[in-house]
Amino acid sequence: MVDLNSDVPAAVSLPACDCVEVMVVAGVMIGIDPHKGSHTAFAIDARERQLGRVRVRASARQAEVLLQWAARWPTRSWAIEGARGLGYLLAQQLIAADQRVVDVPPKLAARVRLLDSGQINKNDENDARSVAIAALRGQDLPVLSAEGQTMVMRVWSRRYHDLGRLRTQVICRLHTLLCELVPGGVRKELRTSQASEVVAGLVADSPVTQAKLELARDLVADLQRIDAQRREARRRTARAVAASHTTITDVHGVGPIVAGIVLGYVRDIRRFSSRDHFASYNGTAPIEVSSGNRVIFRLSRRGNRQLNHAIHMAAISQISRRGSEGRAYYEKKITEGMGRKAALRALKRKISDALYQRMIDDARPGEDPGGHSGNDAASSAAGSHPETPALRTSHSRAASQPRTATADQRLLAPRLAPDRRPTSRSAAGVNVEPRPGAAGAGRTDLDAGEHRPRFPASGAGRLTT
C-alpha cells in the first residue's frame, strides 16, 4: 500500500495478484474501508477472486475517482463498512450517482477477516477485501437509499438532546458555585428564572467572591442561551414531524422529540419483517439464556439504545399519568406479581408494538389504520394485538421462527415445555414456567391473563419484558 501524503495523486492503483487477471465480469462486489483521510477499495468477483484495488484520497472528487476506476465493471455493487459513520458521505455520493450501496457492520467484516485462512493481517487492503466478501456472502444486509425527511427529524431531535446534556452540565456547575456563595446552597431543581433571581440578589464582599459572582452570572447567561436553543430545536423537530403526517404521536407519551427519534432511527419500518424483529432492534425484546431444562429470558442490552431511551421516556410518561391505559397496565402487572422494573419493561414492549403497528399503517396509503374510525380492531394508546401472547422464544435473535402470529393467525400447535426445576434466578432474568392446563403449556408466566384483555374498551395489548 502507498502511504497517503499531501503530494500523492488522488488515486493509486495497486497491482493485482499474479494468478488473477483483471477482466470485465458481471456481478462485481467492491468493498470499501473508509477513513477520515482516505478510502481503500477492493473488487472481487462471485468466486471471491481479486479483480482490482485502489486507494483514493478523501476529497471533493472521491466518488468521481472511484466511479472512473470501477467503470470497467458495468454490473457492480458497493459495500461500505460503517456506511452511517465515516463512510456516510461517500455512500450518499455513490447513491446520488445511481449506484447500489450496502452497509456492512464492522463486526461482520472483522469476523470474515479473522476466519480467513490466508488474509488475516490487519490493514486497509484486507479490511476492504473482508467487507466485499461479507457483502457478497451476507444475507439481509441493508441496501442504502438517499436520506429524506427522517434524517431531518433525527438531526434536530439529537440536537435537542445534546443541548439537554449541556444544560445539565451548566446546572451542576452553577449548583457547585452557589454552594460557595449561598449558605446551604439552593434547591435541587433549579430553573433558569430562579437562578437569575438568586444571583441578582448576591453581593460580593471580597475579590474572590466577586470573581465567583461574575462566573455565576456567566453560567446563568449560558442557561438562558441553551434554553432558547432547545426551544428552537424543539420547534424545528415538531415541524419536521408534522410534515411527515405520522400517527405515532397519537400514542400517549410520544411527543415531537420522541417521535423524531423513533422515525429518525427507524427510517423505513418495512425493513422489519415483524413486530418481534422491531422489538429486537430497539432492545425491548428479552434475550433467551436457556440451558438444558432451564428456559430463562433476561433483559436485553442490545439494540438501538437511543430508540430504547425514547420508548423508555414514553413509558415513564404513561406511568406518571393516573388514569391512562399505560398506568393501568403497569399496575396490573405489579398486581400479578411482577416487580416494578419488570412491569416497566413489559409496558415498554407494549409501546414498541403500538409504534410498530402505527408506522406500518402509515406506510400503507389508502388503508384505515387500527384505532381510527372505521376500524373495529382492538387498539389502545399503549399497545396493539391483544388477542395473542407476545413473549415467545421467537423474540430471541437465536430463534428459528422470527414471526409472531397476528390476530387472524392462531397458533395451531403450541409446543409443550419440558419439566423444569425451580431456579433461584431473579431480578436480572425472568424465569419461565409452564402454565397449568393444556392450551398454554408452551408459553410463559407473562402470558397469563393476556388472552382475555383486561383493559378498558380499547383492549389490552400483549407484552414481554
Residue 395 has pLDDT above 80, yes or no: no
- Predicted pLDDT at 366: 56
Contact of 461 with 385, CB cutoff 8 Å: yes
What pLDDT sits at residue 114? 80
Whether 461 shows a pLDDT value over 50: the answer reads: no
- In angstroms and rounded to an integer, the radius of gyration of the C-alpha atoms of the chain is 28
Average pLDDT, the chain: 77
| pLDDT number for residue 411 | 33
* Grid cell in block for residue 15: 497491482
Torsion-angle region of residue 122: left (phi > 0), alpha (psi -120 to 50) or beta? beta
Q: How many CB atoms lie within 10 A of CB 220?
A: 20
Q: Classify residue 16 by its DSSP letter.
A: P
> What pLDDT digit, counting tens, does each position of 297-319 carry?
888 888 899 999 999 999 999 99
CA 183 from centroid of its chain's CA atoms: 45
pLDDT of 287 reads 85
Task: For 388-446, give the DSSP string.
Answer: S---SGGGSTT-S------TTS--SSPPPPPP-------SSEEE--PPSSSTTTTS-GG
HSE of 400, CA atoms in CB hemisphere, 13 A:
0
Query: What pLDDT is attached to residue 336?
Result: 93
d(CA 120, CA 179): 58
Range of lowest pLDDT (265-274, 297-306, 320-329, 434-443)? 434-443
Please give the pLDDT value at position 18.
Answer: 35
Q: Is the pLDDT of residue 215 over 80?
A: yes
CA angle 51/55/56 to nearest 5° reads 125
What gap in Å lies between CA 454 and CA 58, rounded to an integer? 59
Quick one: pLDDT band at residue 1, thresholds 50, 70, 90? very low
Summarize pLDDT for 430-457 with one digit per residue, the tens: 444 444 444 444 433 333 333 333 334 4
Question: What pLDDT is attached to residue 302?
Answer: 83
Q: Which residues have a Cβ under 8 Å from the Cβ of 430 and sit 6 or more positions away? A: 286, 296, 297, 298, 342, 444, 445, 446, 465
pLDDT tops 90 at residue 388: no
pLDDT of residue 330: 94
Residue 456: φ, ψ to 5°: -65, -165
- Give the relative orientation of helices 62-69 and 88-96 as an angle to the nearest 10 degrees: 60
What is the Cα–Cα distance from 375 to 48, expressed in whole angstroms?
Answer: 52
Please give the pLDDT value at position 423. Answer: 45
Residue 117 has what pLDDT?
A: 64
CB 267 within 8 A of CB 261: no
User: What is the band of 422 on the pLDDT scale with cuts at 50, 70, 90?
Assistant: very low
Q: Find cell 434524517 and name the residue.
A: 151
Range name among 147-151, 260-264, 420-424 with the lowest pLDDT average:
420-424
